[in-house]
Amino acid sequence: MDRPGSARRRWGRSGAEGELRIVYQDAALIVVNKPAGVLSVPLPDGDHGPSVEEQLAVHLRTRGKRRPLVVHRIDRDTSGLVVFATRADAQRRLRDQFKRHEPERVYLAVVYGHPSPASGTWRDRMLWDKADLIQKETHPRDPRGKDAVSDYRIVERFAAASLIEVRLQTGKRNQIRLQARLRGHTLVGEQRYVYGPANLRPIDFPRQALHAHRLAFRHPVTDDLLSFEAALPSDMTDLVARLRIQTGGSGV
């Protein structure tokens, strides 16, 4: 009989573009490097493209395993690391960690302009608009709102943009996208959290330039610390290379 956490662990199965990219798997959980353009979970109305949850369900079913259980999500057009559980008790314990903001969640983003100072903390009060399905800034004492806190630092400067690292202290829906926009540093490729005419955002990129780069949490069964990193996907590395050329070499 298989004991919790005792299954053989598999690391780093990469795939072609669009395939399921499993970074880590054991008897209790699966970590996936999600490509941009793929949902984490299906939409409620059923009108959607492929999702990681559905792909994992097929992957597990072919091995006689149970369905994947959602722990957290990242946006369809955000790439990077996301974790699913394969047991109800593991899902519950992982979700409790995320509710307590214990996991390390680090993103890489390309934004317009140069945040000042070069590192710091963004603090906002946010309210999810259920009608418009969008995150909005609200008054600091609005009882309906929730605090959103992120630590950021510039990794590389370009002529009109920056590659930044953002470490979440909280994990609100669309948090980084809105917090960057509120400070005049809209994500390159962003379509929803923008302001002003499109000519203010001249860099061509087909999605928001946001990648879930690092994820660390406690194993829900063994309590061991698990830590994972996913390198920038090819579209974002190409974007960074293009911005370096426009800057006149390497970024500053």
**Digit-coded pLDDT (tens) for 43-82:** 876 656 789 999 999 999 877 777 899 999 999 999 999 9
Q: How many domains does the chain contain in total?
A: 1
Regarding beta strands 69-70 and 134-137, do their DSSP bridges make them parallel or antiparallel, or are they unpaired? unpaired
Asked whether residue 97 is domain-assigned, the answer is yes
Measure the CA–CA gap between 101 and 170, rounded to whole angstroms: 6
Regarding beta strands 210-218 and 104-112, do their DSSP bridges make them parallel or antiparallel, or are they unpaired? antiparallel
Domain range for 44 is 10-247
Asked whether residue 89 is domain-assigned, the answer is yes
CATH code at position 114: 3.30.2350.10
pLDDT band at 228 (very low <50, low <70, confident <90, very high): very high
| Residue 96 is a catalytic residue | no
Asked whether residue 117 is domain-assigned, the answer is yes
Name the residue among 97, 114, 91 with its Cα closest to residue 41: 91
pLDDT band at 96 (very low <50, low <70, confident <90, very high): very high
Residue 251 has pLDDT above 80, yes or no: no
Q: What pLDDT sits at residue 40?
A: 93
For residue 151, give the 3-state DSSP assignment: strand
CA 183 from chain centre, in angstroms, equals 20
Measure the CA–CA gap between 16 and 82, rounded to whole angstroms: 18
- Out of 26, 75, 124, 235, the active site residue is 75
Asked whether residue 252 is domain-assigned, the answer is no
Q: What pLDDT sits at residue 97?
A: 98
